[in-house]
Amino acid sequence: MHIDGSIAVVTGANRGLGRAFVEALLARGAAKIYAGARNPVTLNELVSAHGDRIVPLQLDVTRDAEVSAAAACATDATLLLNNAGRLVGSGLIATNDIIGLEREMAVNVFGLARMCLAFAPVLAENGGGAIINMLSVSSLVAFPPFGSYAASKAAAMSLTHSMRYELKGQGTRVAGIYAGLIDTDMIANVAGDKTSPADIVSNALDRFAAGDDDIGADDRARNVRAALHRYFTAVEEETWQKADDFLAAHPVGSG
Ligand SMILES: NC(=O)c1ccc[n+]([C@@H]2O[C@H](COP(=O)([O-])OP(=O)(O)OC[C@H]3O[C@@H](n4cnc5c(N)ncnc54)[C@H](OP(=O)(O)O)[C@@H]3O)[C@@H](O)[C@H]2O)c1
């Protein structure tokens, strides 16, 4: 899977990290980007800067109809980049209600899953391609002040790993990007060492090009992943073997 010549779909492309992904993919030779945004007017600057290499899509990932319409439009896509994300920004108990968790899950888990379901057949049709999911250090270790967000990002990581297994047969590579604090609107009110979106994207796409599927895009993510890595790799290999055995004994559809 090469970025050069790829045709990408990027969700949440209008600002923050998503916009940085669009700029970097184009700089690395992507032929065309389907840029998703809830309000396509917010893509006007990207369209003015890059002309017909940007195809704006009205795309709220929580809406089935918009996701289906995106897949019907972007039939030549070879790369799906699930970037759109939501942080409500409190611990579950601190919030004292379920709504924040529901909102984060709706975008970070169900939205990502909906996009993957819609685009897996498109990618298969176009030779396999790749899915890249924007995860977080919070996928790896729960951060209690953002407890419900961390739960959603952990679920997104789990889906990423399952889909890597499920889509390998159709030749679709599935990668996840992990990062700590990134200097975007999402954490404008959070103090701490933040990495610029451009640096995160540059690191992540370099590692993707080098063949990494679980990508630490900043020092924080690399340090946490290094601590977990040996354990994780061994457990994943063992789990995939168990999955092969399970599916051999329980063919899908057999109940
Ligand atoms: N910032 C960090 O510290 C950090 C760290 C690790 C991982 N991440 C992840 O990086 C990704 C990008 O975040 P960011 O920092 O760029 O955040 P951001 O500045 O808040 O941007 C979020 C993007 O997601 C879009 N979005 C939200 N809900 C959506 C929906 N229902 N459908 C489609 N698009 C939707 C937003 O669109 P609107 O403009 O319409 O709101 C916006 O384009 C997220 O997955 C986030 O979880 C961020």
Residue 230: is its pLDDT beyond 90? Answer: no
pLDDT (0 to 100) of residue 254: 57
231 is catalytic: no
**Topology of domain 7-224, CATH:** Rossmann fold (3.40.50)
Which of 46, 86, 135, 196 best tests ligand 1's pocket when mutated (most atoms within 8 Å of CB)?
Answer: 86
- Tell me the per-residue pLDDT of 75-103, one tens digit each, with 9 for 90 and over: 999 999 999 999 997 888 888 889 999 99
Residue 11: is its pLDDT beyond 70? Answer: yes
Q: What is the pTM of this model?
A: 0.93
- Tell me the per-residue pLDDT of 172-208, one tens digit each, with 9 for 90 and over: 999 999 999 999 999 999 999 999 999 999 999 999 9
The residue-averaged pLDDT of 48-75 equals 98
Residue 232: is its pLDDT beyond 80? Answer: no
* Average pLDDT, rounded, for the chain: 94
Please, are residues 187 and 164 in contact by the beta-carbon 8 Å criterion?
no
Residue located nearest, by CA, to atom 43 of ligand 1: 12
Exposed / middle / buried, residue 238 (Cβ in 10 Å: 0-12, 13-18, 19+): exposed
Atom of ligand 1 nearest to the CA of 106: 31
Residue located nearest, by CA, to atom 47 of ligand 1: 85
Atom of ligand 1 nearest to the CA of 181: 3
Which of 59, 61, 64, 83 best tests ligand 1's pocket when mutated (most atoms within 8 Å of CB)?
Answer: 83
Confirm or reject: Cβ of 38 under 6 Å from ligand 1: yes
pLDDT (0 to 100) of residue 253: 59
Contacts of 139 (CB under 8 A, 6+ apart): 150, 153, 154, 156, 157, 176, 178
Give the distance (Å) from ligand 1 centre to CA of residue 13: 9
**pLDDT confidence band for 162 (50 / 70 / 90):** very high
% of residues, the chain, pLDDT over 70? 98
Exposed / middle / buried, residue 110 (Cβ in 10 Å: 0-12, 13-18, 19+): middle
Structure tokens at 155: 């679920």
